[in-house]
Structure 1
Amino acid sequence: MITLPPQHIVPIPVNQMEKTTLGKLSRARLTTLFKQGGLAKHIDRAEELLSEARGATFIALSTDSEKAIASIYAGIFNLAESDISASDNFFELGGTSIDVIRLKREAEAHFNLPEISVIQIIKHPIVSSLANYVDALLNKDGTQQEYDPIVPLQLTGNKTPIFFVHPGIGEVLIFVNLAKYFQNERPFYAFRARGFEPGQPMFASMDEMVSCYAAAVKRTQPAGPYAIAGYSYGGVVAFEVAKRLEAMGDEVKFMGLVNIPPHIAGRMHEIDQTAGMLHLSYFLGLISKSDADDLHPTLKSLPPQEQLDFVLNAAPPERLVELQLTKAKLDHWDAIARSLIECGKEYVPSGSVSLLDVFYAIPLHGSKSDWLNNQLKPWAGFSRSEPTYTDVPGHHDTLMNFDNVPQFQKIFRSRLEARGL
């Protein structure tokens, strides 16, 4: 249910879970029983119990906007509209990052709105809440909301919250799949870079970004202990946020660095405008990694707008539809990513935090052993205790995808638990 929702879930008494002579579950036998209707009584009983449970918390849809939103939810999750409650949460129903884009697209079409912000959909995943937000847009309530870098991706659970800083592309959708694994365990907050919404200035320095994020952590969780992490570029930002919190006298019990070395300035200087745009395009699934590497010499001689045209023409049309990506939007996203690169060009790590947990995957360039020994292990100079170094599956850019996130979350959560969280 956390990755791709199954078509059916059928509870079966243990004594009917037939096993082979080797003691393994007879999946073939169960599949045959299901297809032939042999599990019908269990399915009926499960539906009866689910109906009773949902009836206890079910809130009827009361406005046209709620009914429209519910209809879209029902279509995405293959449910009857009558089964959707006004209190249903998009992500708890099984919504993925791609489903968010579909919801955005269908809601904009239904309500005839030019734009429903993805981030507002993430912040308003409950049917009634999203309907109220849409109503505000329809009523032309153009009040500019104050920038808040923190996006709550899930809020259930009583354990210490985790705060995760965005990678160099600045967005948080990449964490949607990971956040689901923390449901009913601990809240999961992600940082989103400034500049995506109209009228928002981009960050001008690392210090400005870190000050903004540290203050947001304190607003969200006034007292420690804290758990902070950062993916790729976000790792050094998270490190600086943790330093700020400790300087204020707070306890940081977990500081996670996902595939990022302490010294990034040299790499930031190597990324020219063309390389940055190609890296963003690769991260968004518009081109392959080999294309990102091979196209650089060719595109570097073209004006920036022609580079964008080239990438958009080369991108799979269905991917552009999924992301609702236009030339103007890609150009703006590229500008945000470049602003983050500029913030990192003068970054020199200093000081230390009480502890560090470093997670490493296959790097963008070079071998994994060289990456670990020569690039990541220097983090030891910035921790007052010996850091841990943990191998995680996948490449640098595929850590959070459907194939790798199930294993990554297990490893990540085990380190949180090892730190007493």
Structure 2
Amino acid sequence: MRLETLDGYGTRGPETQSPTAIKGLGDSSVGSPLQQQQDLNLSPLLSVLEKSAHTTAGLRFVSERNGGLAAERLTYASLWSRAQNDACSLISLRLAQPTRGSSNVLLYFNTNSDNIRWFWAVLAAGGVPCIAPPFVSDARLRRDHIAHLIHLLENPTILTTEALSSVFEDDVNASIQTIESLPVETELTFKAPAPPTDDGLAVLMLTSGSTGNAKAVCLNHEQMLQAAAGKSAHSKTNSKDVFLNWIGLDHVANLVEIHLHAMSLGAEQVHVQASHLLADPLLFPRLINQHRVSVTFAPNFFLDLVVSQTLEKDPELHNPAQLDLSSLRALFSGGETNVVKTAVELTRIFQAYGTKTEFICPGYGLTESCAGLTWGFNCPSYDVKSGSEFTSAGAPIPGGFVRVVNHDGIQVPPGEIGDLQLSGPVIFKKYYRNPEATKEAFTQDGWFITGDQARIDSNGQLHIVGRVKDTINMNGVKYFCSEVETAIEQIKLPGVAPSCTVVFPHRPQGASTEEYCIVYKPTEDDVTGESRAYIDDNISRISSVITNKKPFRIIPLPESSFYRSSLGKLSRAKFRKAFEAGDFQEADESNRSSIHAFRMANRDAPSNPAEESALNLACDMLGLQAEEVSVTDNIFHLGFSSLDINAFACRLQKALGSKNAITLTEVLRNPTIRSICTDIDDSKHPDESYDPVVVLQPNGDKTPFWIVHPASGNVLVFIPLSRYLSDRPVYGLRARGVRLGERFFGSVDEMATTYFHGIKRTQPEGPYAIAGYSLGSSVAFEVAKLLIANGDEVRFVGALDSPPDIAPLVGNLTWSAALVMVSFFLGLIPERYSNEVIPRLWNEAPDVALEFIMSNAEPARLEELQLDRTGLSRIADIAHNFGMAARKYEPVGSVPTMDVFVVDPLLSVTEGGRKEWHDKFLYKWKDFVTQDLKFHQSSGSHADMLGPKHVRVFQRILQDILVARGL
């Protein structure tokens, strides 16, 4: 979009005054007699405007003109003059309507220039402004909302334009006053309004509602000025800064964070409509460049839009000489949790265009706290160093205090999650005409209850975890909706619009626990059953990684359903309300019908009794309709979790009458009903059918990712990780011996050679990406050397928290000690308990050790894993055999590059923490890498780094590395 400056733009001196009545924004003329008033007894906010009028600074409003965008300027002096002139017109109107009792004025405009103009006019006239957000398009919801506002604000004057006034015409109680029909007052002389009452009420800000349930937050003069001063002190802003805003004035991110903040400093401010930036996100850096913006605000969803557009794709801006972002030093971001990956990428892009430092300042605030109460200034480096997925929200501004408490109201130690509460002079005191809500909002000792969950780290930085109400409580376990949304957004599914995925809880009638629903905006109108089925399968797969359960509903909705607040937020509560009211029923039924028709037309039906029995069993366990499911469907895509697979394998063995146990390995290696049934052949010796390759995730066109098993020999631990890597095939390499009757490997070299041939059969050509978890890292290193010796290109070799020399760690383990170690990894016994038990059982006979573990293990965990003595004994056999092979292993040779992932070490190895683990053990990989060795900090410990709690952090780091390695 073309951006230009009007002739004469850029002059910062006072504007010439004339006695003309009210004009449009571009005409700076106001009634000159009003400028003669001296020694006015002004309210605190009006005093700020009057003081700023003595500077040469002002406001620039960017708007459409002649097919492009242009900026018009209004000095603070002119704004102050206009406010006095407009106030006289409003006072004249009130004198003509003496029966009106309420001083509340509801402002409804669609531009920042009109909202700012009339906000100050109402204050100057002694009224209380309340700025209405844009109303929703749904006529019923809009009528309910307007009726609620008229009742809440005690029949206020509704100040709007003729063009916008029609939205109020259905309400007979609406007292509408258009600005075009205001009297042009030339006789009245402006007099300062009466001083504020004891509570100092200045403005009413609406919160939590565009559908009839809004509350009005009472913001007083001193609170708002304290907030502006605190923000300035915290961020070191001054009169030389230029502030850029694109949020509506109905949100405190504009009113206080930008508008009053800048005005209190006598600093320049630029306003542009949100619609312009949302239509063209790259207008954002253009405006920063043209207006030399140093301070601005944008929520995470918009930053993600800028990143996804990327300046590199714009031919006009590709050359840094065309775009200078060196003026930008503070981009405040709030309203939703910021994603570290987005912050890293935006910082990289903007720094290429001259931004000299870290400029993204994530924060936390509410309407009740006058926007940002906390801000951080070392993003994203602080969060990258800690391995976080979401950024911290910084520390409080002067005048704000935060605490995190447990359910009993007791403050929790650093690092623990609890309920976030706020206090200080920048916090509001009450909701307007709602004593019940006010009482519920505060603790007995006066702290405001935010409804958010958070933690404060050891450095005093606030981390928002999620909203208490925005959780899914399934079978007593809580999952945050934002976690599921972020996971889906990060995979960037084709056909799903970015930043338009919403997750919300739902309790079906008669259900024993909550479920959850997902709605998204498709990018194409002309869709097929195949494309909808693809999206449905992938959203289901990603979300079930986090929740261990498929969504209750996945529904595509049109753009009109995605109503955003002035800050660009989508309300989960409103989507849930609409869903439960039946508003999405037609879209839901249409989508499911389309997917059903596609699946029926492309279904592979069972061809024999075994396939039919297995299919019916799977559908029975998952609650699916058998006629929709193919025997060639990947059973993990149907919704099975790793725990479901255990039960499925055991029940399938009984259903088919197989003599040999159907192990998880068989199911993983043959993840369709047809392949499972084909592979079951009791007449074959297990060694004949052994194949080390296990397909964990078959889809995607990127380079396949290979990963070698830990000491247990199995690849089950990689299932959660494989579901995140949706854009590339993922293959696990499992040990021989996992299945009963298979021979164990005699050495690490034999293992590596076998895996090398398995890889070449599956992926004949490189480049290759291979990693190993725990002791499997050494095997991956050996396989990489074999591939390189074969003339293949290996771009990625990963060691997941294991050093090169493994013999000292496991080479001397007895069978019983190996049993205790794997029992800890399986979650049967705690880590410290395992370290105490190992010496006691070191030389005990296998039966004695087995009995001890089986007696002390949690029965529920044994049942969950479908483990009996025989199964657990087999896992110990494999681990002990690995230890015997490791005893004879000595690493030699090298690879060009390696990425080593660092987490908290096993206590049995060192109690010195990560630093000692890195310095004394992992750093030794330097002797086996010739070119590029990198270490990556991840979250969790050695045993759970790939578990549900930490796998999201790990996969994010891994995916970034794979891209950086050209994969």
**Do the structures match in fold with TM over 0.5?**
yes
Q: Which has the larger radius of gyration?
A: 2
Q: How does 1:260-271 map to 2 (within 5 A)?
A: 260-269=802-811, 271=813
Q: Of 793, 809, 812, which residue of structure 2 is paired with 1:251?
A: 793
SS in 2 for 1:193: coil
Corresponding residue of 1:31:
576
Q: Cα offset for 1:171?
A: 0.7
Aligned residues: CA RMSD: 2.1
Quote the offset at 1:323 in angstroms: 2.7
Match of 2:750 in 1: 208
Aligned-partner residue type, residue 11 of structure 1: P
* Contact 1:164–1:229 under 8 Å retained in 2: yes
State the partner residue of 1:413: 959
Once the two structures are TM-superposed, the CA of residue 21 in structure 1 deviates from its matched residue by 4.7
Q: Which residue of 2 aligns with 1:167?
A: 710
Count of residues paired in the alignment = 417
Aligned to 2:870: 328
Aligned to 2:103: none
Residue deviations 1:315-339 (CA, integer Å, cap 9, x gap) = 2223223333221222222111111
Distance 1:369 1:73 in 2: 47
Distance 1:407 1:76, change over 3 A: farther
9-18 or 171-180: bigger deviation? 9-18
Partner Cα distance (1:254, 1:143) in 2: 33
1:22-421, aligned counterparts within 5 Å? Answer: 22-114=567-659, 115-134=661-680, 136-137=681-682, 145-183=688-726, 185-269=727-811, 271-300=813-842, 302-365=844-907, 366=911, 367-421=913-967
Give 1:142 shift: 6.2
**Structure 1 residues 141 and 240: CA distance shift in structure 2, 3 A:** closer
Aligned mates of 1:357, 1:346 — CA distance in 2: 25
Q: Aligned partners of 1:141, 1:211: CA distance in 2, in Å?
A: 24
| Contact kept? 1:356, 1:383, Cα under 8 Å | yes
Note closer, same or farther for the CA distance 1:154–1:265 as it changes in structure 2 (3 Å cut): same
Is the alpha carbon distance of 1:313 and 1:244 closer, same or farther for their aligned partners in structure 2, counting shifts above 3 Å? same
Q: Does residue 13 of the first structure (1) align with residue 558 of the second (2)?
A: yes
Q: Specify whether residues 342 and 315 from structure 1 end up closer, same or farther in structure 2 by C-alpha distance, changes over 3 A only.
A: same
Task: Judge conservation of contact 2:772–2:780 (CA < 8 Å) in 1.
Answer: yes
Deviation at 1:355, TM superposition (A): 0.7
TM-score by length of 1: 0.93
2:699 partner letter: T
> C-alpha separation between the residues in 2 aligned to 1:319 and 1:192?
23
Q: Which structure is higher in helix share?
A: 1
Measure the CA separation in 1 of the matches of 2:709 and 2:608: 36
Cα distance in structure 1, aligned partners of 2:671 and 2:619: 14
State the one-letter code of the partner of 2:822. Answer: L
Residue pair 1:380, 1:386 contacting (<8 A) in 2 also: no
Distance 1:204 1:419 in 2: 34
Structure with the largest fraction of strand: 2
Q: SS of the counterpart of 1:384?
A: strand
1:382 deviation in Å?
Answer: 1.0
**Residues in 2 aligned to 1:299 and 1:82: alpha-carbon distance in whole angstroms:** 53
Are residues 406 and 84 of structure 1, via their aligned partners in 2, closer, same or farther at CA, if it must alter by over 3 Å?
same
Aligned counterparts of 2:903 and 2:811: Cα–Cα separation in 1: 23
Q: Counterpart amino acid of 1:418?
A: A
CA distance in 2, matches of 1:141, 1:370: 49
CA distance in 1, matches of 2:671, 2:843: 44
**In structure 2, C-alpha distance between the alignment counterparts of 1:141 and 1:247, rounded to whole Å:** 35
Superposition deviation, residue 344 in structure 1: 1.0
What displacement does 1:49 show? 1.9
* Alignment-mate amino acid for residue 929 of structure 2: S
| Equivalent position SS for 1:364 | coil
Partner SS for 2:956: helix
SS at match of 1:386: strand
Aligned AA for 1:60? A
TM-superposed CA distance for 1:252, in Å, is 0.8
Q: What letter corresponds to residue 590 of structure 2 in structure 1? A: R
Change (3 A) 1:201 1:417: same
2-structure distance, mates of 1:375, 1:169 = 22
Distance 1:346 1:123, change over 3 A: closer
> Offset of 1:301 from its aligned partner?
5.9
Matched residue, 2:192: none
Residue pair 2:827, 2:861 contacting (<8 A) in 1 also: yes
Offset of 1:245 from its aligned partner?
A: 1.5
The whole-number CA distance in structure 2 between the counterparts of 1:406 and 1:188 is: 16
Q: For each residue in 1:30-50, what CA deviation from the matched residue of structure 2 results, as whole angstroms up to 9, or x when unmatched? A: 112222322212211211221
* 2:711–2:878 Cα contact (<8 Å) kept: no
Provide, for residues 179-211 of structure 1, a one-character-per-residue CA deviation record: whole Å limited to 9, x for no partner: 22233x222111111112343221122222222
Shift of the 93–348 alpha-carbon distance from structure 1 to 2, 3 Å rule, reads same
